[in-house]
Structure formats: structure tokens, C-alpha cells
């Protein structure tokens, strides 16, 4: 199978008044084309932080990843808009739709 995504030592730390919060601490992961992946864990375990880093909505503190064999820059800058548009899709647990509209609308 062809490797779609490879993460190496991905870290995302946040500075708080109480100290450093390690939301992601050295994540290694490989996903091949055709595989299905579920992120499951308790609140505060880093699921959303991981998705935000992978979709270039947030920048990792350290580490990095490749998508389809190409390095993804660590900064979430303007060129990442086309990357997100062409490569990233989310399936949400909840519908997140407008109350006044149907799915068809």
C-alpha cells in the first residue's frame, strides 16, 4: 500500500499561567491509502489538537509530517489553504448544521 500520511515526533505545547501543557507529545503515526482511521479518546486527550495540526489550522511546536510523500510546512500560512481545500475533509460526530436548513438546502 502507498503511504498517505507519516507523522514523526509531532508535538504541540501550550504555555499557560500554570505551566506548559503538552497536548501532543511526540506522536508517531503512519496511515496508508485506503485505510480508515478513528480518533477516539477522552476529553482533553489531544484529538482536536492533532486534527488541527494535520489540517494546518494550527502549527505543531516540533516534529512534522508528510502527506502523499511531500513535507507539509509547519507554519499555517496562505499556501496551506489550497492544501486543505484539495486534501482535507472531516466527518463530524455531530451534524453541525444550521437549524433552519435541511441537508439538501
Query: What CATH number is associated with residue 74?
Result: 3.40.50.300
Q: Which of 15, 32, 102, 99 is nearest to 67 (CA)?
A: 32
- 8 A C-beta contact, residue 31 and residue 54: no
Residue 66 counted as domain residue: yes
Which residues constitute the domain of residue 7? 3-87
Mean pLDDT of 14-42: 94
> What is the DSSP secondary structure assignment for residue 93, as one 8-state letter?
S
Mean pLDDT of 32-42: 91
Local confidence band at 63 (pLDDT 50, 70, 90 cut-offs): very high
Residue 20 counted as domain residue: yes
pLDDT > 70? residue 93: no
Residue 68 counted as domain residue: yes
pLDDT > 60? residue 3: yes
- Note the pTM of the prediction, 2 decimals: 0.76
Place of cell 482533553: 44
Residue 58 counted as domain residue: yes
How many domains does the chain contain in total?
A: 1
Task: Please write the tens of the pLDDT for every residue from 71-89.
Answer: 887 665 657 788 888 888 7
Residue 98 counted as domain residue: no
pLDDT > 90? residue 8: yes
Amino acid at each position: 500500500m502507498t503511504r498517505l500520511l507519516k507523522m514523526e515526533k509531532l508535538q504541540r505545547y501550550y504555555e499557560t499561567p500554570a505551566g506548559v501543557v503538552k497536548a501532543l507529545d511526540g506522536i508517531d503515526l503512519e496511515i496508508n491509502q485506503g485505510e480508515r482511521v478513528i480518533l477516539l479518546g477522552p476529553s482533553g486527550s489531544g484529538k482536536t489538537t492533532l486534527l488541527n495540526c494535520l489540517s494546518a489550522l494550527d502549527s505543531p511546536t516540533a516534529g512534522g509530517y508528510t502527506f502523499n510523500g511531500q513535507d507539509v510546512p509547519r507554519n499555517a500560512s496562505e499556501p496551506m489553504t489550497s492544501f486543505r481545500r484539495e486534501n482535507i475533509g472531516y466527518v463530524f460526530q455531530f451534524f453541525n448544521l444550521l437549524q433552519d436548513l435541511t441537508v439538501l438546502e
